[in-house]
Structure 1
Amino acid sequence: MHPLTALSAVWVMPNHTPTEALALLLRWTHFVAGITWVGLLYFFNLVNVPFMKQVDATLKPKVFQYLTLPALQWFRWSALVTVFVGFWYWAQIYVAADARRMGVSPLGTIALFLVVWIATWAVLYLTIVKMAPSGWVLGAITTVLVIVAGWLFVKFTPVGQDDNHVLSIGIGGGFGLIMMLNVWGIIWRNNKAIIRGTLAGTPPANAAVLARQAFLASRTNFFLSVPLLFFMATSYHYVIFGS
C-alpha cells in the first residue's frame, strides 16, 4: 500500500488498521459511485428513451444541452470510478489476501479476469457496431458470451478457487467491466457525436446508426445490471462458490 494512502486512511479512521480503513473507504466509494451509475442507467432506459421519442424536434437541442449531456458526464465518470475502485478493492482485499495464504502471486487471477472479460466485451463491441442485430439476437449472444466467460474465470483462476468473494466478484465485476467499456466505447462516444453535432447545427450523417448502437449498448447494460447486482450481493451475503 502506498504510504500516502495508508496515512490518509488512518487519519480518516484512526481506530482501524491501514488495510481495514482502506477497505472501508474503497467499499463506500464503490457503493456511492455504483448507485450513481446504475441509477442513471435506469433513468436513461426507463425514462429518457421514451421521453425523447415524444419531444418535439425543436426542443431536443435544449434537452441535449441541459439534461442529456450533463447526465452523460455523471454517467461515464461514475461508471469509471465504480469499476476502478471495485477492481482495486477486489484485487487487494480478496485476491491478494488469498494469494498470500496460498503462497502464490495474485497476478495470474488478475490477468485472467482482465483478459477474459475484455475479450468478451470486444466480441460484444464488434457485434453491436458491425452487425447491429435485433435486441433478441444481441441478448442471446450476450447471454452465451457471459456464461462462457464466467465459466472460464471460475474454472481457471489460480487464486480463490475456494473463496466466494473472489469468484462472485470475479463474475459480477466482469459484468461491470463490460458495462463500463460499453459506456466509454459506445454510449458516450456515439451520444457525444450526436449531441455536439446537433448543438452545432450539423448532426452527423450517420446519426441514426450511432443512436441505434448506443441504444443496443445501453440496453445490454440495463439487462446485465441485474446479474451484476446478484453476484455482488452473493459475494458477501450468500455463498454460492467455495466458502
Structure 2
Amino acid sequence: MTHMNAASLFDANAIGNFWFRYLHVLAGITWIGLLYYFNLVQVPGLAAYGDEGKARNITITQIATRALWWFRWASVATLATGLLIVGVAPDYMQDFMNHTEVADFPLNAKNAAISVGMTLGILMAANVWMIIWKNQKVVIANATNVLSGGEANPDAATSGRRAMLASRQNMIFSVSMLFFMVGAAHYYDSYFSASSSDANTFMLISIVIIALLQLNALGKFGGIKAGNKMLWPYESQKNAIISGVVLWAVFFIASIVLMRA
C-alpha cells in the first residue's frame, strides 16, 4: 500500500478534481432541484388556487421568497465552483478542443461536451439573476402590497410571465446541461472521438441552437403574450419536458454525426 502524507489529500489535483467537484454537484442539486420544484410543483399549484388570490399571495410571500433565495444563491454557488474546477484542476484547459493526435481525439469530444454543458449552465445562471429574479421581485412586491391592502400592480402579471418563460427555458436547457456535464467525463471520452474541427463545429451548432431558443424565451419572435405559437414549449410543464427531451435528442444526434468514432 502506498502511503501519502495528509497534505496530498488537499493538493491542487485533489481540490480541483474532487473537492470543488463535490461542492459543484451539491450546489447543483440544490439549484436544479428547486428549478424543478418551481416548474413541476409551485407554478401549477398556484394556478390551481383559482380565485383564491389571498392564498396565492401568502404562498408567494411566505414560501416562494424562501425558495427563490436558495434558488438564486445555489445558482451562484454552482457557477462559482464550476469555474474553480476549471481554474484549479491541473492542465484542465491545456489543448482544449485542439488535440491533433488521433489517439487524443476522445479528449476533443470530451472538451466539446463539457463546453456545451458549461455554456448552458452559465446561461441558465444568467437567466436566474437577470430575468427570473428581476421579474419575481415585482411579483413578490405586488403580493406583499396587496396583502397589506394596497392596489395591485398591473405590471405584475407581465413580470410573472417573463419569469415563467425564462424558468421553463432553464428547465428545457437543464436536460441537456446535466447530460453533457456528466457525460463529458463518463461517456464522451470513452465512446466518442473527434478532430478539433469536428469538435468546434459541434460546439458552434450547439451555440446557435441555444441562442435561438434563448431569444425565443425572451419573446424576440412574436412577443411573450399567450397565443404566440413560438412559445408552445413554455406554456406547460408537459410541453417543457417534451421540448427538453427533443433538444437533448438534437444535441445527441449532432454529436453522433460529428464526433462518433
User: With structure 1 as the length reference, what TM-score do the two structures score?
Assistant: 0.65
Aligned counterpart, 2:58:
62
Q: Determine the C-alpha separation between the residues in 2 that align with 1:89 and 1:203.
A: 46
**Offset of residue 200 of structure 1:** 2.2
Contact kept? 1:194, 1:203, Cα under 8 Å: no
Cα 1:233–1:185 change in 2 (3 A) is same
Contact kept? 1:187, 1:218, Cα under 8 Å: yes
Aligned counterpart, 2:84:
88
Contact kept? 1:179, 1:221, Cα under 8 Å: yes
Contact kept? 1:87, 1:173, Cα under 8 Å: no
Q: Determine the C-alpha separation between the residues in 1 that align with 2:136 and 2:78.
A: 21
Deviates more, 1:14-23 or 1:209-218: 14-23
Cα 1:241–1:59 change in 2 (3 A) is farther
Contact kept? 1:197, 1:204, Cα under 8 Å: yes
What are the Cα deviations for residues 172-200 of structure 1, in whole angstroms up to 9, with x where unaligned? Answer: 01101111111101111101111122202
Look up the SS of the partner of 2:53 in the other structure. coil
Aligned counterpart, 1:199:
144
Q: Determine the C-alpha separation between the residues in 2 that align with 1:223 and 1:97.
A: 28
Cα 1:216–1:21 change in 2 (3 A) is same
Match of 2:12 among 13, 19, 29: 19
Within a 5 Å distance, the mapping from 1:138-157 to structure 2 comes to none
Q: Determine the C-alpha separation between the residues in 1 that align with 2:141 and 2:87.
A: 38
Cα 1:60–1:41 change in 2 (3 A) is same
Tell me if 1:35 matches 2:29.
Answer: yes
User: With structure 2 as the length reference, what TM-score do the two structures score?
Assistant: 0.61
Q: Determine the C-alpha separation between the residues in 2 that align with 1:21 and 1:157.
A: 25
Q: Determine the C-alpha separation between the residues in 2 that align with 1:25 and 1:17.
A: 8
Q: Determine the C-alpha separation between the residues in 2 that align with 1:203 and 1:29.
A: 41
Q: Determine the C-alpha separation between the residues in 1 that align with 2:99 and 2:167.
A: 30
Q: Determine the C-alpha separation between the residues in 1 that align with 2:79 and 2:57.
A: 31
Aligned counterpart, 1:187:
132
Aligned counterpart, 2:46:
52
TM-align CA RMSD: 2.7
Q: Determine the C-alpha separation between the residues in 1 that align with 2:121 and 2:22.
A: 17
2:53 maps to amino acid: A
Cα 1:67–1:17 change in 2 (3 A) is closer
What are the Cα deviations for residues 96-153 of structure 1, in whole angstroms up to 9, with x where unaligned? Answer: 4443xx5xxxxxx7xxxxxxxxxxxxxxxxxxxxxxxxxxxxxxxxxxxxxxxxxxxx
Match of 1:224 among 173, 177, 180: 173
Within a 5 Å distance, the mapping from 1:93-112 to structure 2 comes to 93=89, 96-99=91-94
Q: Determine the C-alpha separation between the residues in 1 that align with 2:7 and 2:144.
A: 50
Within a 5 Å distance, the mapping from 1:100-179 to structure 2 comes to 162-179=107-124
Look up the SS of the partner of 1:204 in the other structure. coil
**Offset of residue 168 of structure 1:** 1.7
Unaligned runs of 5+ in 2: 196-261
Q: Determine the C-alpha separation between the residues in 1 that align with 2:99 and 2:41.
A: 40
Please list every run of at least 4 consecutive aligned residues from structure 1 whose deviation after the TM superposition is greater than 4 angstroms.
Answer: none
Q: Max radius of gyration: which structure?
A: 2
**Offset of residue 80 of structure 1:** 1.0
What are the Cα deviations for residues 19-47 of structure 1, in whole angstroms up to 9, with x where unaligned? Answer: 12312210011000000011001111111
**Offset of residue 233 of structure 1:** 1.5
